[in-house]
């Protein structure tokens, strides 16, 4: 009861003090940010950072879908790595909730959305490429590398929207780390899981999961990504959002990570501004 009352007060305060976000206002701000019609878009989002969203998560989802148009594909993470990290070895694609935000959970619950079969890094997708995006995630050999939805989004020249969140939430960094074969990301062994597919059929499958996270400097990459011309920032409601060109990010970062495998980590002795990064700057397309 106390919790409900606190929520109601928080909500009333948000309504009274924050900008009001509607489908039309968000749609227009996403277009200004550079979201392309027909894009294949991966979205990491925070609802509360946007201000007061009239209609809640459904409004955000509608605004993005309208901005993408009918040829666009919307992809959202429905990650459950908090469960696998805590020792869970079960995943049901039909009803294991997304643990990465309210918007992703509301998106997951739509009847027209499909979800990939992965115990820690599943995604949900809607649009012409949706089935292809989610297909085969369970056989990819890593949560984010080749054959996963993340790699496919880069392959088709898609975009990444960080809606009210920073680069810290950019799972695509893990996709590129996997492709560069960095030595710290994956566990040295597979784990066996019971996964239940969309038809209710159970499978015993082995997955190579991420190892315990190493402190990264994802947020520090912002200036470099802007210099490369792969990231733009813009206003969305009460907050700032970021839009990234996925293939161009890979084209810039992958060679750099192959040369300096710890480049994205806090303990890397090569500064983000040091000359070894300028090779990539010079080759920016």
Ligand X SMILES: CC(C)(COP(=O)(O)OP(=O)(O)OC[C@H]1O[C@@H](n2cnc3c(N)ncnc32)[C@H](O)[C@@H]1OP(=O)(O)O)[C@@H](O)C(=O)NCCC(=O)NCCS
Question: Can you give the length of the chain in residues?
Answer: 285
Token code pair at residue 59: 């409004």
Alpha carbon distance 112, 39 (integer Å) = 18
List of residues contacting ligand X (CB under 6 A): 7, 10, 14, 44-50, 52-53, 56, 77, 79, 100-103, 165, 169, 171
Q: How far is the CB of 122 from ligand X (least distance, A)?
A: 11
Q: How far is the CB of 49 from ligand X (least distance, A)?
A: 6
Query: Of 172 and 277, which has the nearer Cβ to ligand X?
Result: 172
Closest CA to 173 of 263, 233, 92: 263
Query: Of 58 and 270, which has the nearer Cβ to ligand X?
Result: 58
Query: Of 171 and 251, which has the nearer Cβ to ligand X?
Result: 171
Q: How far is the CB of 99 from ligand X (least distance, A)?
A: 9
Q: What angle do CA 80, 262, 282 make, to 5 degrees?
A: 110
How many other CB atoms are there within 10 angstroms of residue 110's CB atom? 12
Query: Of 44 and 208, which has the nearer Cβ to ligand X?
Result: 44
Alpha carbon distance 132, 200 (integer Å) = 20
Q: How far is the CB of 43 from ligand X (least distance, A)?
A: 8
Q: How far is the CB of 133 from ligand X (least distance, A)?
A: 16
Angstrom CA distances, 85 to 81, 88, 90, 210, 213, stand at: 6, 7, 12, 9, 10
Query: Of 163 and 180, which has the nearer Cβ to ligand X?
Result: 163
């Amino acid at each position: 009861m106390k919790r409900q009352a606190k929520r109601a007060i928080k909500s009333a305060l948000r309504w009274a003090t924050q900008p009001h976000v509607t489908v039309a206002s968000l749609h227009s701000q996403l277009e200004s940010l550079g979201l392309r019609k027909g894009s294949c878009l991966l979205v990491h989002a925070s609802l509360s950072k946007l201000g007061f969203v009239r209609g809640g998560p459904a409004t955000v989802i509608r605004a993005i879908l309208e901005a993408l148009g009918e040829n666009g594909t919307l992809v959202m993470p429905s990650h459950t790595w908090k469960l696998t990290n805590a020792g869970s070895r079960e995943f049901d694609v039909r009803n294991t909730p997304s643990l990465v935000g309210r918007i992703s959970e509301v998106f997951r619950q739509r009847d027209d959305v499909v979800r990939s079969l992965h115990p820690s890094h599943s995604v949900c997708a809607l649009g012409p490429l949706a089935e292809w995006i989610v297909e085969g995630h369970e056989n990819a050999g890593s949560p984010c590398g080749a054959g996963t939805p993340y790699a496919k989004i880069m392959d088709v020249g898609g975009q990444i929207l960080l809606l009210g969140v920073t680069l810290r939430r950019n799972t695509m960094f893990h996709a590129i780390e996997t492709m560069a074969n960095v030595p710290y990301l994956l566990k040295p062994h597979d784990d066996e899981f019971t996964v239940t597919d969309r038809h209710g059929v159970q499978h015993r499958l082995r997955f190579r999961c991420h190892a315990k996270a190493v402190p990264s400097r994802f947020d520090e990459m912002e200036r470099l990504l802007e210099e490369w011309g792969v990231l733009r920032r813009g206003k969305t409601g009460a907050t700032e959002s970021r839009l990234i060109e996925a293939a161009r990010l890979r084209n810039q970062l992958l060679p750099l990570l192959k040369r300096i495998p710890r480049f994205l980590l806090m303990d890397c002795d090569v500064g983000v501004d040091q000359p070894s990064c300028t090779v990539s700057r010079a080759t920016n397309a």
